[in-house]
Amino acid sequence: MTDPVAKVRGKKAAQAKAMWQRIWIGLGLASILLVLGTGLFLLGPGPKAKEGESSFFIVQEGDSASIVGARLQKEGLVHSALGFRLAVAINGSAADLKIAEYEIPSGATPGRIAKILASGEGVKRVVVLPEGWSVSQIYTRLEANRFLSGKLPPPPPEGTLNPDTYPIQRGETRASVVKRMQESHTALIDQLWLKRAPDLPISTKQEAIILASIVEKETGIAEERPRVAAVFVNRLRLGMKLQSDPTIIYGITKGAPLRRKIFRSDIENPHPWNTYVIQGLPPTPIANPGKDALAAVLNPPRTREIFFVADGTGGHVFAETYAEHNRNVLRWRAWRAEQEKKSQNLLGGGE
């Protein structure tokens, strides 16, 4: 006969065992969920960008994975610096973080961020400084660039900056860009000077830079620079005055736009840059010439042309004789008068 007490005790023991099994299963599931949740928090998608679809982050010289992780967390790009360090360890990229500015997609995982920062494929930014700009114009653009930092150094002499397109990094100093422009200019003129034509009427690098700056300001058409350079070289050989309008303007504005026509009084103004008055070259460059203008001056084509005038299309027509030049000037004046007449008709409603 079954003992009722033992039966009750067995039933309670079974219930207790089942309860503990449920507890252990629950604890196991909770642990798994905790691990998964922690992993998702540490290694899952990061916070959304505050603005737009991406954020920008700079890896600086000497940055370790710990330093980068702390900054990523501070800037809201990852939930946890530990998660980034784990991702770096998993990817094996701890020693591969490369100095650059990077674009980080909104919500990127620490693993993806680690791969981006190890790629070296940073954001490419440039500052464009056109040929023929004065130092003051270049400084205005550098000052306005929001990705550069620091103050500009004292303005260097005119003609000592090489105009070009320069890659820059966010936070790079303006002084470093100016230094690069100066070093590039020095290297360029040294290289071109060694390959100059043997019989030029200029004897120094500075004279070459001065003449190239005039060529640069006379024409914005690349194909014309050698021909314009040849005209000025021919005039120097013949002892003729250069008679270049841009030199008049530089003497008045020191590199800023004139924003008006040149008057007869300007042509007769005996300032040191006025090549209608002075013989030979002005005392300084009137702009910062580029490579093509310098090359044109140092190796001009052989021509007999000593005159040129605007043709009304942005280019120029050239002449060997004064009579031919006068005919070109008359055609230019007729074209300009026709344009002014059309402009007046449009303003006045005429036909």
The lowest-confidence range among 54-58, 188-192, 279-283, 289-293 is 54-58
Residue 120, classed as helix, strand or coil, is: coil
pLDDT at 246: 96
Would you state the pLDDT for residue 32?
46
Q: What is the value of pTM for the model shown? A: 0.77
pLDDT at 202 over 70: yes
Q: Which long-range contacts (C-beta less than 8 Å, at least 24 apart) are formed by 232-239? A: 232/297, 233/200, 233/201, 233/297, 233/300, 234/303, 234/304, 234/305, 234/306, 235/306, 236/201, 236/202, 236/211, 236/280, 236/281, 237/201, 238/306, 239/279
The residue that leads in pLDDT, 242 or 170, is 242
> Which residues, in sequence order, are bridge partners of residue 125?
168
- Angle of helix 225-238 relative to helix 291-298, nearest 10 degrees, comes to 40
Q: Quickly state the pLDDT bin for 173 (edges 50, 70, 90).
A: very high
**Most distant CA atoms of the chain, gap in Å:** 143
The pair of three-digit structure tokens given for residue 304, joined into one six-digit string: 């007999």
Q: How many angstroms separate the CA atoms of 29 and 32, rounded?
A: 5
Comparing CA positions, the residue from 222, 231, 202, 196 lying closest to residue 321 is 231
Structure letter (DSSP) for residue 319: E
Cα distances from 68 to residues 57, 65, 85, 162, in angstroms, run 9, 5, 9, 36
4 or 131, which is more confident = 131
* pLDDT tens digits, 77-95: 888 888 888 888 887 665 5
Least confident segment among 47-61, 151-165, 251-265, 326-340: 47-61
Residue 101: closest CA among 118, 120, 123: 123
Q: Give me the residue label for tokens 């693993």.
A: 111
Q: Which of 202, 177, 201 is nearest to 189 (CA)?
A: 202
Structural domains of the chain ordered from first start: 54-119 (3.30.1490.480), 125-186 (no CATH), 197-348 (no CATH)
Say if CB 314 and CB 185 are below 8 A apart: no
- Residue 272 has a pLDDT of 96
Q: What is the pLDDT of residues 268-278, one digit of tens each?
A: 999 999 999 99
DSSP per residue over 79-101, as a string?
S-HHHHHHHHHHHT-TT---SEE
Average of per-residue pLDDT values in the chain: 86
**Comparing 48 with 294, which gets the higher pLDDT?**
294
